[in-house]
Amino acid sequence: MRSLRCRSVRAVTASAVLALSATAKTLPAQGAQSAGAADTVLSIAKPRNPLPAEAASASVTRFSFIAYGDTRGRRDGVNEQYEHSLVVESMLRTIKSMENGPEPIRFVLQSGDAVVNGRDPKQWNVSFISLINRLTTIGGVPYYLAPGNHDVTSAAELNAPGRLVGLQNYLRAVGQLIPADGATRRLAGYPTYAFGYGNTFVIAFDSNIAEDSTQLAWVRGQLEGLDRTRFTHVVAFFHHPAYSSGPHGGTTIERPTLAVRANYMPLFRRHNVEMLFTGHEHFFEHFVERYRDAAGQPRRIDQIVSGGGGAPLYTYQGEPDLRAYTQAAGADSARVTHLVRPGVRAGDNAYHYTVVHVDGARVWVEVIGVDWGAGFAPYQSNRSTLGDSVVRR
């Protein structure tokens, strides 16, 4: 790739659950306060073109969606996120260019770290929300955010004080975008939810608390109850990758990563989840995990790390240590291939986002670099097939 220019947690107490549920149900509507208010997080505007009811889109088999992550900026709380704004401007152009084509963009997934400090309402209001409002109003698309460690802290305990503050702010920001507490596709009191569109089902969960048994049981229940005749593609997006090669990966194995590996990856293999979109590492990389399902059929999970949404870019630090992980997979015979590595120099990695194209059984990804990274070509081109279907474009 050519060098680019320049650069098992404790259960939450019953009172904490009730408090979180009450917070989610009493969030103010968009515009209920002035944009300059610094003590309460504003709600992101509803999308101009919301997704239809799940049953209404059952016949849809061709569309696209955007996935990216890590938008936090160097001057959060002071100015609008500049690097993220470049990404959003490019997204708006892409959404516009595809809106009348065969694969219009129907929603955006963001895998976490919206701001540097999610406990500070000013960072959400000043630096992040106005940009997302452009996507939901001008672009017209639904926007789904999974929480990162900077948003709700990295605390494993659900009732940790810092986490409760960050979570309240997160829920205020996304209150008009995600399923409501009490909905079938929402785990009450958690930033954990799902939705279905066309032939694709999407699950978001909080990887900061990947040890939590309540969240894990809810995700398992969603997968076990899924109509796989309709939902031929299943996507999960969350913050911490199961494996990565940046400063959070390589020979370093963080607590949430270990929990994702131990709790969620076997579940994903059991239910043939095809695509994982994560962040945490501020660059682009792509892993493929191959295994055999219960019937002995070969399967594949694509994990894409897309953390180039505006946070300071990282570089390659070394291969993840997967010996214990693959050994633990045992009968699943998990084998992991690092399909795309990030660059070792800052100039090799670019701010970017991905466009995922769904066409029946076929899925392919397009990586779009922005600003000085406009020529970003991580596959020696900027696109690749996901899954084992052959896609010619």
pLDDT tens digits for range 152-177: 999 999 999 999 999 999 999 999 99
Mean pLDDT of the residues in the chain = 90
pLDDT value, residue 331:
66
pLDDT value, residue 119:
98
pLDDT tens digits for range 112-149: 999 999 999 999 999 999 999 999 999 999 999 999 99
115 with 104: CB under 8 angstroms?
no
Torsion of CA 17, 19, 24, 26, to 10 degrees: 150
**pTM, entire model:** 0.91
Tally of residues, the chain: 393
Segments making up each domain of the chain, as ranges: 14-386
pLDDT tens digits for range 235-272: 999 999 999 999 999 888 999 999 999 999 999 999 99
* CATH number of the 14-386 domain: 3.60.21.10
* Residue % of the chain over a pLDDT of 90: 84
